[in-house]
Amino acid sequence: MSNLKHVAVVGATGAVGVEMLRCLEQRNFPVGQLTLLASARSAGKKMKFKGEDVTIKELTPDSFAGVDIALFSAGGGISRDFAPHAVKAGAVVVDNSSFFRQDPTVPLVVPEINAADVKNHQGIIANPNCTTAISLMALYPLHQAFGVKRIFASSYQAVSGTGAQAIEELAKQSREWAAENRAWDAAKLSSKPHVYPHQIAFNAIPHVDSFLDTGYTKEEMKMENEGRKIMHHPDFRASVTCVRIPVFRSHSISISAEFEKPVDLAKAREVLAQAPGLDVLDDPANKVYPLALDIAGRDNCAVGRLRIDCALDNGLSFWVVGDQLLKGAALNAVQIAECLV
């Protein structure tokens, strides 16, 4: 491939697709030609890239002629149906859906952790789940130092992880409550939710993705299954509860991790401070710790609330926050594309 690449973005009009374009532009990715692909109803509309209008085209099996790298973020069904066409046309697919993540022939990559796996691709590289990627940005450096055995975690996930309709649902419900001038203890609204099974405004819903027979959700099991593959750690175990909260952007995860080796707090801070793509914000006495509001829009994840876990042997508890549209999706995909270049 030449230095300049023909890049296609599938799902260009979605929240992640928009961020992919922003990342390509801000990181000066060597885009020689850009193809924006979406559904038929978006075809003909225009999006800006480096100050120029780019016309969106309808996604079809023949959309990938001459494409070098295809960034997919349009759902598992689209990836299943169209990624093989892109590969057949000669493109390398970086897929943001869950469809290929557990395929043993498809690398699952967080570049700060396992960039070398990119070279093993057979045309498709998978982007991990957003909560998994953000968590591993802090967990993996600690694993390298102390050898992680298992974690107990709870995630606090922003509505933008569900999509634009969920963002609007939270905004609409918040406006409805404010318009009715309700008392603080009467926050339950009369209107029916559409995106979530329950009202999301002023609430916390312990239900992300569909439930499995075990009682865990698919989202919760991704931490263990994807973590094992990314870290090359088949014995890694994770018990996770995923919660949707009324925050627009950035996921937060509380993690209690148990390690093979005794954990030294000063050493843990040193390890995390040197980790790429991660900021340490850990001064509780001065109320300094990662906040979703502060991390939204930032490329780096952040970790804080570091403390020796009082209930686990060789345990460390910490709080990690990341923008799920960036490191949890678009940024990570563009970083993978940079590995290909």
Residues 251-274: tens digit of each pLDDT:
999 999 999 999 999 999 999 999
CATH (residue range 132-324): 3.30.360.10
Q: At what angle do helices 218-231 and 130-146 cross, to 10 degrees?
A: 40
Residues of the binding site for NADP(+): 13-16, 41-42, 160-161, 324
Question: How far is Cα 258 from Cα 274, in angstroms, rounded to an integer?
Answer: 21
Residues 228-242, mean pLDDT to the nearest whole number:
98
Instruction: For residue 245, give the nearest of 323, 327, 136, 170 by alpha carbon.
Output: 170
Residues of the binding site for substrate: 157, 244
Whether the predicted pLDDT of 245 surpasses 90: yes
> Of 162-166, 215-219, 289-293, 333-337, which range is least confident?
162-166
C-alpha angle 333-250-199 in degrees, rounded to nearest 5: 120
| Pick among 3.40.50.620, 3.40.50.720, 3.30.930.10, 3.60.21.10: CATH of 5-128+330-340 | 3.40.50.720
The residues carrying an active-site annotation are 130, 251
For residue 168, the model assigns a pLDDT of 96
- Under a CB-based contact definition with an 8 Å cutoff, are residues 127 and 23 in contact? no
pLDDT bin (cut points 50, 70, 90) of residue 2 is: low
- Sheet with strand 301-308: strands edge to edge: 237-244, 148-157, 251-259, 315-322, 301-308, 278-280
Question: How far is Cα 283 from Cα 297, in angstroms, rounded to an integer?
Answer: 22
Structure tokens at 112: 């700060």
Residues 202-213: tens digit of each pLDDT:
999 999 999 999
Residues of the binding site for phosphate: 101
Whether the predicted pLDDT of 123 surpasses 60: yes
Residues 78-86, mean pLDDT to the nearest whole number:
98
Residues 301-328, mean pLDDT to the nearest whole number:
97
Spans of all domains in the chain: 5-128+330-340, 132-324
Question: How far is Cα 305 from Cα 40, in angstroms, rounded to an integer?
Answer: 47
Question: How far is Cα 209 from Cα 73, in angstroms, rounded to an integer?
Answer: 17
Type and span of the H or E element at 176? helix 164-179
- Under a CB-based contact definition with an 8 Å cutoff, are residues 308 and 264 in contact? no
Question: How far is Cα 96 from Cα 319, in angstroms, rounded to an integer?
Answer: 25
Question: How far is Cα 65 from Cα 175, in angstroms, rounded to an integer?
Answer: 47
Residues 169-203: tens digit of each pLDDT:
999 999 999 988 767 677 889 899 999 999 999 99
Q: Give pTM, 2 decimals.
A: 0.95
One fold for 5-128+330-340 and 132-324: no
Beta strands in the chain (DSSP E): 5-10, 31-38, 46-49, 52-58, 69-72, 92-95, 124-126, 148-157, 237-244, 251-259, 278-280, 301-308, 315-322
